[in-house]
Every structure is written in C-alpha cells, then in structure tokens.
Amino acid sequence: MSTAINAIAYKVPKRRHAVLLFMMQQPLGAAGLVVIVLMGIFAALAPWAAPYDPLTVDYGAMLAPPSAGHWLGTDSFGRDVASRIIYGARTALAIGFIASFLGSTLGAVIGVASAYFGGKTDLIIQGVMDVLLSFPIIVLAITVVAVLGNYVVLGIDVNLIVAIAIPMLPRVERVVRASALAIRELPYVDAARAAGYSHTRIIFRHIMPNVVAPYLILLTAFVAQAILAEASLSFLGLGVTEPTPSWGLMLSGAAADFYQQAPWMIVFPGIAISLGVFAFNLFGDSLRDWLDPKIKL
C-alpha cells in the first residue's frame, strides 16, 4: 500500500514539472491553454458567471447597447448577449470535445487496424477513407446532418456530433496509420505474434500506446475545427436550434437583420468563436512541436 502511495506521490511532481516545462518552452501554447481553461471555467460556472438567464426575454430592453446593466448589449428579443455567450461556451466545448474525441478515437483505432492487418483489409479501408476525404469537412458535415436530422439527448444534438465527427475520422486514420505501419515492423510486435497473443491484444497493448502522441495532437487540433463546424452548421440552421445558446446561432437570424443598428449582436459572438478556435489551434500546434521528436532536432 505504501509503495503505491509513494509511486503516486512521485508521479504528481513529475507531471507538474512537465506542465511547467511545456509552458516555458511553448509560451504561445501556454497562452492558448490559459484561454481554453478560462473558457472551461466560465462554461462550468455559467449559472453563476452569467449575469442573466440566457433564455429570459425582455422586450423593454430590445437591442440595448453595451452598458453597465448589459455588458455586451442585448439582442432583438432583449436577451443578454454576455449571458448567451457564456452559456454558448458550454455548447461549443461540449460538442467540440465529444465530436473530436469520437472522430479521433475511431480514426485511430481504424488506422491501427488497417496498418496491422494490411492486405485486402487495408485496401478496402483506404478506399472508404479516400471517398470520405474527397469531401470538404463542412460539406460532408452538412450532408450527414441533413440526412440524420436532429436527435437531442440531455440537451445535446447527438446527430450533430456524429456529423462533425465523421469528416475528422479519415484525416486521423491516415496519420495514425502511417505511424502504425512503422511500429508494426518493430521486433517487439513480432515477438508478441510469436508468443501467440491475439490480434486485439497486440493492437491495444503494443501498437496503440505508441501512436498516442499523434492522436493527442490531432484530438486537440480537431476541437477547434469541431467548434467552427458547429458554429457554421448552427448558422445555416442545421445545428443547434433556438432557444439554446450557441455562438453560431447568435450570428444568424435577427443578428443579420440588425447588424447595422446593433453590431454587438455579431461582433461579440464572432470574437468568441475566433478566440476559441485560435486558442485550440495555438495549443495544438505547440503540443505538436513539443511532442514530436523530429521537430525538436
């Protein structure tokens, strides 16, 4: 028991040291991480951080400019823009993280399996990936969500997440497959085969752990694309629907009609989307530079 406690106590400072080292070596990535953490804090504490209920309509305060009462103004229904942006962070981060995790994880598993089995299995999988790659991300996402429609569970549109995750899958699969092809030829994988281990064990115990670095990099990078895709689909009316707070939804509808009279309805949600995407891109690029040994040389 004491040995396990000592091991845990040893790992905590080591992980803390790794975080500090990353922040010193990658200041831009650290800045992006700070923005991401702040977004997460505001999203988690939205009921306390938001000055108003984002769904409350106040027709007496319609299109009110930014003021002490409404920091970022109100929309055409008198709803507080700041409150809707804070709650919109919940929507963006939830859909962004879940979609990115789903697409990246499935892509990594398929990529490793394709590289490991090779032959006809690899040929068929790569043919399917080629078809998916032929579509731009947003076009494929629009097609999928248009076919599947809306299916909301616990306030989250499951089909929207699937629509965003599918375009990510082939891009992750290609990168992970390239790494797995090299790992497949290493001696310890041959030794595992000779020992009679099952294909499942070899894939998940001996190959998957060695493709974690590219997987984490892609997972982080695709959160930004997922946030942007969710905002784009919501703007087009294929994503989150009213009255759920969503950054993309805040840019559509009445915001486009009142952009001259109330520019804050477009400016502040646009800044939120840009800041979120920029932060995840900064962190993802820095994480790639930090984890990839070829770049360090």
| pLDDT for position 295 | 47
| pLDDT for position 35 | 93
Give the C-alpha separation, 129 to 171, whole Å. 8
The Cα-based distances of 198 to 192, 201, 205, 209 in angstroms read: 9, 5, 10, 16
Q: What is the domain extent for residue 21?
A: 2-296
| pLDDT for position 287 | 82
Residue 2: both structure tokens together? 């004491």
| pLDDT for position 232 | 86
Burial class (CB in 10 A: 0-12, 13-18, 19+), 215: buried
Residue 190: both structure tokens together? 């041959």
Maximum pairwise Cα distance, the chain: 76
Average pLDDT over residues 178-182: 88
Segment 68-88, tens digit of pLDDT: 888 898 888 889 999 999 999
3-state secondary structure the chain: CHHHHHHHHHHHHHHHHHHHHHHHHCHHHHHHHHHHHHHHHHHHCHHHHCCCCCCCCCHHHCCCCCCCCCCCCECCCCCEHHHHHHHHHHHHHHHHHHHHHHHHHHHHHHHHHHHHHCHHHHHHHHHHHHHHHCCCHHHHHHHHHHHHCCCEECCEEHHHHHHHHHHHHHHHHHHHHHHHHHHHCCHHHHHHHHCCCCHHHHHHHHHHHHHHHHHHHHHHHHHHHHHHHHHHHHHCCCCCCCCCCCHHHHCCCHHHHCCCCCCHHHHHHHHHHHHHHHHHHHHHHHHHHHHCHHHHC
| pLDDT for position 3 | 40
Give the pLDDT band of residue 153 (cuts 50, 70, 90): low
Segment 109-131, tens digit of pLDDT: 999 999 888 889 889 999 999 98
Domains identified in the chain, total number: 1
CATH number at residue 126: 1.10.3720.10
Give the pLDDT band of residue 4 (cuts 50, 70, 90): very low
| pLDDT for position 297 | 44
Give the C-alpha separation, 132 to 123, whole Å. 15
Identity of the residue numbered 286: S
| pLDDT for position 2 | 39
pLDDT at 25 over 80: no
| pLDDT for position 5 | 36
Average pLDDT over residues 6-17: 47
Average pLDDT value for the chain: 83
Average pLDDT over residues 49-68: 87
Give the C-alpha separation, 117 to 203, whole Å. 10
**Upstream peptide bond of 187 is cis (omega within 30 degrees of 0):** no
pTM for the full predicted model: 0.83
Average pLDDT over residues 141-145: 83
Give the C-alpha separation, 70 to 80, whole Å. 6
pLDDT at 292 over 70: no
Give the pLDDT band of residue 200 (cuts 50, 70, 90): confident
CA dihedral 101, 234, 28, 219 (to 10 degrees): 10
